[in-house]
Structure 1
Amino acid sequence: MRTTTSRRAALFAAPALLVLGLTACVTTTDDDRAPMGSMMGSRSPSTAGSPADHDQADVMFSMMMVPHHEQALEMAALVPTRSDDPALLDLARRIEAGQQPEIDRMEGWLEDWGAGSMDRMGSMGHDMGGMMSAADLRELASLEGAEFERTWLRMMVEHHEGAIDMAEDVLRRGTHAGTKDLALAIVKAQQREIDEMQAMLAG
């Protein structure tokens, strides 16, 4: 498992890289907007939010948290075929039920902000805020029973800790009211689930 130090370092490296891409988008001219639009998504004057309503921290949060949540759903989907533990099955169902609506909400903001299709962070990959690597997920999918359950819980605790780091960062730096409300809800819900998972590991 990655250390907390390396996880936090990776978290704050990713937004620094993304700022460059977002800044390039902001400074494009009308002539340049069509090529950039193929990467960032087109902006509709009728739906795009006012720049005063959000800032780059808000945009980066949703752009990172959407794929982060999507990986949590991928991990949760493994549980029913590899474990018969009622508590773990219930937790996986709650993660799916809670995080899919949050994905939909953030994707709506990104579309409104003209940043709706940026390759889910592309090359930043699994070093972002507790994300698992492809090798991690292959290993997890190869396990069953108690070994799967312990590995899944450890990975999901780390995954949730990464989400909390990102949420706390946007609470400090963001300006969008909806994003800040969502970030606060993520901190509360995922900390509660971390406590639950750590109790399951201890038991």
Structure 2
Amino acid sequence: MRNTRTRTLTRRAFLTAASVTAALVLAACGSDSGDSGDSDSSGSAGSDTSASSSASAGADAAAGAHNPQDVSFAQGMIPHHQQALTMAKLAADRASSAKVKDLASRIEKAQDPEIKTMSGWLTSWGEDAPKSGDGMESMPGMDHSGGDAMPGMMDPADMGKLDKASGADFDTMFLTMMIDHHEGAVDMANTEKSKGKYGPATSMADDIVTAQTAEITEMNKLLGKN
């Protein structure tokens, strides 16, 4: 009888101890899982915050990687290009030379996308982008040694004469005026190359110098000057 009672007490003690141990193990697992979850959540949140901060910093750096010369270049070259497009569009039904018409078409295809690109820069920088038809007097001055805020730009009287011309007279007037216009653009682009900071702007300036210098040579040949 005593042996039976002893075995019963021993079994109860063992079961109690086992239950306590199991409870402690479960509690520990729950705690570890919670800590792991918190750690993962915290790590994920920290990673998201870090990524967001990096993206923001990258955007700020991209927007800030320019100087006042870059702004002046874009704000000045946009209306300069716009006037060139106006002149080029007149050639479609006024020029008599197929070569002049071809040149005018190439000028349109090159300069229209550049206008869009420069407008995008100005918008991203929080600066005003000139719209088609803006008066030249409203544009900020360019930083260059010539002293002329918009080198090569035609005045309203010149544009009026070109608008009324046709045939061979138009060809000669168009080429003469566009040479002056291109020379002004090259002047502005060279200033951007030497004083600008924004990589895409100085790269575009280099392209303008190359392309328009070649077109100046082409136009002089068409005029019989070379």
TM-score, normalised by the number of residues in structure 1: 0.72
SS at match of 1:94: helix
Partners of 2:86 and 2:169 in 1: CA distance: 18
Aligned residue pairs total: 159
Task: Tell me the alpha carbon deviations over residues 169-203 of structure 1, each in whole angstroms, 9 at most, x when there is no partner.
Answer: 01110110000100000000000000000000017
Write out aligned runs for 1:69-80 (5 A): 69-80=81-92
Task: Give, in angstroms, the shift of residue 86 of structure 1.
Answer: 0.9
Which residue is 1:153 aligned to? 175
**Which residue does 1:114 correspond to in 2?**
126
- Root-mean-square deviation (CA), in Å? 2.3
- 2: CA distance between counterparts of 1:104 and 1:59? 14
Q: Does 1:197 align with 2:211?
A: no
Percent identity reads: 40
After superposition, the Cα gap between the structure-2 partners of 1:175 and 1:89, relative to the gap in structure 1 and judged at 3 Å, is: same
Kept in 2, the 8 Å contact 1:49–1:113? The answer is no
Instruction: Return the index of the structure with the highest Cα Rg.
Output: 2
Tell me if 1:81 matches 2:93: yes
Q: Shift in Å at residue 84 of structure 1?
A: 2.9
1:179 aligns with 2:201: yes
Answer yes or no: is the 8 Å Cα contact 1:57–1:170 preserved in 2: yes
Q: Work out the CA distance in 1 between the residues paired with 2:106 and 2:61.
A: 31
Q: Cα offset for 1:117?
A: 3.6
Judge conservation of contact 1:129–1:165 (CA < 8 Å) in 2: yes
Q: Normalized against structure 2, the TM-score is what? A: 0.65
Deviation at 1:105, TM superposition (A): 0.5
Where in structure 1 do 4 or more consecutive aligned residues deviate above 3 Å?
A: 45-52, 117-122, 124-127
Name the stretch that deviates more: 113-122 or 52-61. 113-122
8 Å contact from structure 1 (residues 167, 183) kept in 2: yes
Counterpart selection for 1:100 from 90, 112, 116 = 112
User: How far does the alpha carbon of each residue in 1:16-35 deviate from its partner, in whole angstroms, 9 at most, with x for none?
Assistant: xxxxxxxxxxxxxxxxxxxx
**Cα offset, 1:51, TM superposition:** 6.0
CA distance in 1, matches of 2:110, 2:186: 15
Cα distance in 2 for residues equivalent to 1:194 and 1:149? 14
Q: Is the 8 A contact 2:192 2:205 kept in 1?
A: yes
Distance (whole Å) between structure 2 residues aligned to residue 64 and residue 179 of structure 1: 12
CA displacement, residues 119-176 of structure 1 (integer Å, 9 cap, x when unaligned)? 6564167961100011110011111111111011000000000000000001110110
Deviations 1:30-81 (A, max 9, x none): xxxxxxxxxxxxxxx9966656410000000000000000000000000011
**Stretches of structure 1 lacking an aligned partner (at least 5 in a row):** 1-44
Whichever residue aligns with residue 123 of structure 1, its letter is: E
> 2:177, 2:149 → 1: CA distance?
13
